[in-house]
Amino acid sequence: MNLKPIPFLLLVTLNIVVAQNSKRNNSKEEMKHAASGNIQENYAVYKQIALEIWNYAEVGYKEIKSSALLQKTLKENGFNLQSSVVGIPTAFVASYGSGKPVIGILAEYDALPGLSQDAIPERKAIEGKSAGHACGHHLFGTASVAAGIELKKLIESGKLKGTIKVFGTPAEEGGSGKVYMVREGLFNDVDAVIHWHPSSENGVTMTSALSNKSAKFRFKGVSSHAAASPEKGRSALDAVEAMNYMVNMMREHVPQETRIHYVITNGGKAPNVIPDFAEVYYYVRHPRKEVVVDVFERVVNAANGAALGTGTKAEFEIIGGTHDLLINKTLAEIMQKNLEKVGGIQYTSEENTFAKKLQESFNFTAPPIEDANKISPLKTESDAGGGSTDVGDVSYTVPTVGVRTATWVPGTPAHSWQAVACGGTEIGTKGMIVAAKVMAQTGIDLFTDPAIIVKAKEEFTRSIGSYKYRSLLGDRQPALNYRD
């Protein structure tokens, strides 16, 4: 084979292109290194913010102090703040920069009721507190703010061009805060969204979530003396129990992936008084939103039937409604590379002792503690996971990607007192810092390489198909008192 020599001018051009690409890559890696270094240097600052929010432990739509602290931090770092957006006092949007691309970072900060817990490896509620950060949202909000600040600094210095937005999204736990923000168009100009979630392992999210619709069903009856004149009463509690019985029988006749759960939030006050009011709070979940809508209507029919049979009146209030989660592999591959570079979590000897003690409280065999330092490989999971999130609605509006980091001892379930305990220690803080670094580095990739966003949007368009987004909440306003 005769090989022709490469013309001199072409060779020079190729060398220039290679040099430019190498310079661009070096510059990007330098920015990533600097951003991660700054986050690490401010470890104590971010730890303090997270622990303050952990101590506040404010439930959905009541996160007044938590939201204010994050907003104050962003404002002090040069962000422009829009507070109390979409009619939610604790929701906000913090922005910096101008033009495209517009990159969003999600921040959560609500706690869960009934899960107060001290930062120790045995069950002990904190006196005077009822709620606890059993899903680690105190860490979530703080890490997102930290990543946003680093991207803002790079825009301010002229090293990046575009706009960074940090979205303060309250009431993820059942209140569907992001859904209202999506519905009002706050994400319409955003090109890509980054988020994360506390976990017991490190990995990029490649598993969808369950679509969800929730409501409080309220029954009104007639009060009377339960012994002297029971015939004059109509028990609202009977209606709740009749409804629950019918729904429980219905479980045999719904798609097997369906999840239905409830809690009686008001069943009366005294056994000798026929209750004239009772309330039950329901969740309906399934991997497909259309199935959720169908099953939910059947639950409504059960409520109406229960009211008819007990001589009471029924009404319901929609509380939450979320879509499943669309996965964007294009963005996930970028985030995975950054996670692998940042690495996992190393425990000290004291933290190992804490972890072993905590794992003794599990009613199952826990994975090795060393798993906190491992990075899960990137792979698509076939199921939809076991939970729901209002991030799903964001993912139906803009390409979205998320990472999980080991803020909890390996094996720790979310929504447990053990998760609250970990979140109040260095174990939680270390995982939070990993997440902040990964999000900042992923943001740098999105700002510096327009081709990533183009490809991510193409994948998003294929995934969403002909579906036109519509909220499962209808036109209801935020359920600001759903935790009352």
Q: Are 300 and 318 in contact (CB under 8 A)?
A: no
What rounded mean pLDDT belongs to the chain? Answer: 95
pLDDT digits (tens, 9 = 90+) for 143-168: 999 999 999 999 999 999 999 999 99
Q: What is the pTM of this model?
A: 0.92
Q: Check pLDDT > 80 for residue 293.
A: yes
Please give the residue that has the higher pLDDT: either 387 or 47. Answer: 47
Give the separation between CA 310 and CA 261, rounded to whole angstroms: 22
pLDDT digits (tens, 9 = 90+) for 341-380: 999 999 999 999 999 999 999 999 999 999 999 999 998 7
Confidence at 386, pLDDT banded by 50, 70, 90: confident
Q: Give me the domains of the chain, ranges plus CATH numbers.
A: 31-208+324-464 (3.40.630.10), 211-321 (3.30.70.360)
pLDDT digits (tens, 9 = 90+) for 73-83: 999 999 999 99
Residue 9 is predicted with a pLDDT of: 57
Residues 6+ apart with CB under 8 A from 133: 53, 54, 57, 111, 112, 139, 419, 420, 423, 424
Mean pLDDT of 431-447: 98
pLDDT digits (tens, 9 = 90+) for 55-73: 999 999 999 999 999 999 9
Residues 6+ apart with CB under 8 A from 341: 32, 441
Residue 243 is predicted with a pLDDT of: 98
Q: How far is CA 339 from CA 79, 143, 208, 269, 448, in A?
A: 26, 14, 20, 52, 18
Residue 379 is predicted with a pLDDT of: 87
pLDDT digits (tens, 9 = 90+) for 103-156: 999 999 999 999 999 999 999 999 999 999 999 999 999 999 999 999 999 999
Residue 384 is predicted with a pLDDT of: 64
Mean pLDDT of 30-40: 98
